[in-house]
């Protein structure tokens, strides 16, 4: 069943309007009786006194409404019954044939639109019974008793009261459903993750339907692995945590066809009570039609769950059912057939949002992993490779010093190389803090690096550029690291004295070419630079040696 609104955010009737209408009705009744002598009844003084008190009562409620009194919520639960009492008292004072009779529709409207269909219906029945009783008592002393009016007024109250109660309950249900959809939409925040989002939605469904439990069974039959999420009154947020479910139990809970949603009303508790549903209602999601299912299947599911009634719908992912959502109740008739359709709408509404949260979560994880890989490659190219070169220079200087040679020039060159690498490291750190490089930064950066590389290694570097080389900062940073790694490999693995770096933008592709002159020595063994290959693959390209 649907839960009534409990907070100001779910109060769907403006209390001020109701209080103002009550005060207006009380004032109108006083004016009617004052202007029309036929409406004054047998006791004029008592009538005026009663109406005066009713006006005072309405004024007090209106003032409390304007001041947002904390007592108003408790008063509103009984205010419509108090109104019924006022109108019954007016009838008892001799107004059984007056227009005051129609004032009973006001508390019916208030009860229905504020608390739902059953509250409005109870007020309508109570008003009809009370009005009939008052009319019967008045008829005992009346000489002009008219049977037609005696029958007409209660019938009006019952028939029109039922229609008003139904309309009010329907309006309230629609607003509650819209509020639920709005709330579950707000809960689907990618920052919370998939588990927390599903758990929060299950908790809201559990509270909305006043269910004893909410279960989500998911699994992969090919792997024979199944998971269960459960939310109940003791732990409403426990649905955020999935726990393993034995395959035998899971297969019983997933026995219904994937295209079938079912509501099971339960068994009647006594032989004289008719079943709440002659058969259980099911909705075929493929054809969109309703049909019945055998009670044996539903009773077997109820026995597995240990409940008296339930409603279940398939839980889809990527267009296929991966499990089932259950709402359970320990009382027969805990769910109505119409609630099946809305639960299907809720699931249809939330599954794309859950898929979106899952996608964003996956993209964030992939982006984090890609960033870690990029930083690892940058550290390899920007930190490790230069220090390998520095180490090789120190080894050569040490060997020359051991043989008695002059090393001051080599030491000055190593110091210069160290300064260059420190500057590059600082530039790399600045790049990590602010990734907002311009689109034309690639070619100047390559030329600066080529010049520094030539000064430090005595290897001439020619940079050739063709086409529009304006690229985004990420591509420029990766291309720059590829050039730096390529030049480092030439220095370490060849004896070349000249290198050519070519950059070409053609047909939407960026082509990097690094060539070195032959040293006249033996051809080196085939070598595939892993760092360059990984960078090219990460950018959707490829490397060829």
Ordered by where they begin, the domains of the chain are 8-184 (no CATH), 192-362 (3.30.450.40), 439-545 (3.30.565.10)
Helix ranges (DSSP H) in 494-539: 530-538
Q: Taking the model in full, what pTM does it have?
A: 0.60
Q: What is the pLDDT of residue 364?
A: 64
Q: Is the pLDDT of residue 107 over 90?
A: yes
Q: What is the pLDDT of residue 519?
A: 60
Q: What is the pLDDT of residue 278?
A: 40
> Over pLDDT 90: what percentage of the chain?
9
Helix ranges (DSSP H) in 277-336: 295-305
CA distance 288 to 409: 87
The pair of structure tokens assigned to 345 is 């709408």
* C-alpha distances out from residue 128 to 39, 122, 137, 154, Å: 21, 10, 14, 5
Q: What is the pLDDT of residue 164?
A: 92
Q: What is the pLDDT of residue 520?
A: 57
CA distance 234 to 128: 42
Under DSSP, is residue 3 helix (H, G, I), strand (E, B) or coil? Answer: coil
Q: What is the pLDDT of residue 122?
A: 94
CA distance 378 to 381: 5
Q: Is the pLDDT of residue 57 over 80?
A: yes
Say how many CA atoms lie within 13 Å of 80 toward its Cβ: 25
Q: What is the pLDDT of residue 108?
A: 92
71 DSSP assignment? T
| Look-up of token digits 């530039």 | 427
pLDDT band, residue 271 (cuts 50/70/90): very low
Closest CA to 491 of 457, 514, 461: 457
CB within 8 A of 379, min separation 6: which ones? none
21 DSSP assignment? H
Closest CA to 7 of 73, 79, 92, 91: 73
Q: What is the pLDDT of residue 338?
A: 78
Closest CA to 340 of 302, 283, 255, 266: 283
For the chain, the residue count is 545
Task: Tell me the sheet residues that pair with 217.
Answer: 228, 324
Q: 273-294 in b/e burial notation, b at 16+ Cβ within 10 A?
A: eeebbeebbbbebeeeeeeebe
Say how many CA atoms lie within 13 Å of 251 toward its Cβ: 8
Q: What pLDDT digit, counting tens, does each position of 316-375 carry?
A: 877 788 889 999 998 887 788 778 888 888 888 888 888 777 776 776 666 667 667 767
> Over pLDDT 70: what percentage of the chain?
78
Q: Tell me if 29 sits within 8 A of 53, measured CB to CB.
A: no
């Amino acid at each position: 069943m649907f839960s009534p609104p409990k907070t100001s955010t779910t109060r769907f009737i403006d209390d001020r309007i109701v209080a103002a209408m009550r005060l207006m009705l009380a004032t109108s009744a006083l004016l009617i009786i004052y202007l029309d002598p036929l409406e004054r009844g047998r006791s004029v003084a008592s009538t005026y006194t009663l109406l005066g008190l009713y006006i005072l009562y309405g004024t007090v409620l209106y003032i409390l409404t304007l001041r947002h009194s904390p007592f108003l919520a408790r008063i509103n639960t009984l205010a419509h019954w108090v109104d019924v009492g006022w109108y019954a008292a007016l009838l008892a004072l001799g107004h059984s044939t007056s227009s005051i009779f129609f004032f009973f529709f006001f508390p019916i409207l208030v009860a229905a639109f504020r608390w739902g269909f059953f509250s409005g219906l109870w007020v309508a029945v109570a008003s009809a019974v009370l009005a009939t009783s008052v009319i019967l008592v008045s008829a005992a002393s009346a000489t002009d008793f008219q049977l037609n009016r005696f029958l007409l007024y209660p019938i009006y109250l019952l028939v029109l009261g039922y229609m008003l109660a139904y309309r009010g309950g329907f309006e309230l249900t629609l607003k509650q459903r819209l509020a639920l959809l709005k709330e579950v939409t707000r809960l689907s925040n990618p920052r919370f993750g998939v588990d927390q989002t599903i758990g929060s939605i299950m908790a809201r469904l559990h509270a909305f339907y006043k269910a004893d439990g909410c279960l989500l069974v998911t699994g992969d039959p090919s792997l024979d692995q199944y998971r269960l999420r459960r939310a109940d009154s003791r732990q409403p947020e426990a649905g955020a945590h999935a726990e393993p479910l034995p395959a035998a139990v899971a297969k019983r809970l997933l026995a219904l066809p994937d295209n079938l949603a079912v509501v099971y009303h339960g068994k009647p508790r006594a032989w004289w009570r008719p079943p709440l549903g002659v058969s259980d209602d099911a909705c075929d999601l493929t054809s969109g039609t309703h049909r019945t299912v055998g009670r044996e299947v539903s009773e077997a599911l109820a026995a597995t769950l240990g409940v008296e009634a339930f409603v279940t719908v398939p839980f889809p992912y990527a267009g296929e059912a991966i499990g089932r959502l259950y709402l359970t109740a320990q009382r027969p008739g805990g769910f109505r057939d119409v609630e099946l359709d809305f639960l299907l709408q809720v699931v249809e509404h939330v599954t794309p949002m859950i898929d979106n949260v899952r996608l964003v979560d996956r993209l964030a994880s992939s982006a984090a992993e890609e960033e870690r890989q990029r930083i690892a490659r940058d550290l390899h190219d920007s930190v490790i490779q230069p220090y390998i070169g520095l180490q090789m220079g120190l080894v050569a200087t040490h060997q020359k010093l051991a043989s008695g040679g002059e090393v001051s020039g080599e030491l000055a060159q190593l110091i210069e190389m160290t300064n260059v690498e420190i500057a590059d490291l600082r530039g790399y750190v600045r790049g990590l803090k602010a990734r907002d490089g311009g689109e034309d930064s690639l070619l100047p950066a390559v030329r600066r690096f080529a010049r520094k590389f030539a000064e430090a290694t005595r290897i001439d570097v020619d940079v050739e550029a063709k086409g529009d080389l304006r690229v985004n900062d990420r591509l420029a940073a990766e291309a720059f690291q590829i050039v730096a790694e390529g030049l480092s490999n030439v220095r370490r693995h060849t004896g070349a004295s000249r290198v050519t770096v070519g950059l070409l933008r053609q047909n939407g592709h960026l082509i990097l070419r690094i060539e070195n002159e032959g040293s006249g020595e033996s051809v080196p063994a085939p070598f595939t630079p892993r760092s360059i290959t990984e960078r090219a693959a990460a950018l959707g390209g490829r490397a060829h040696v």
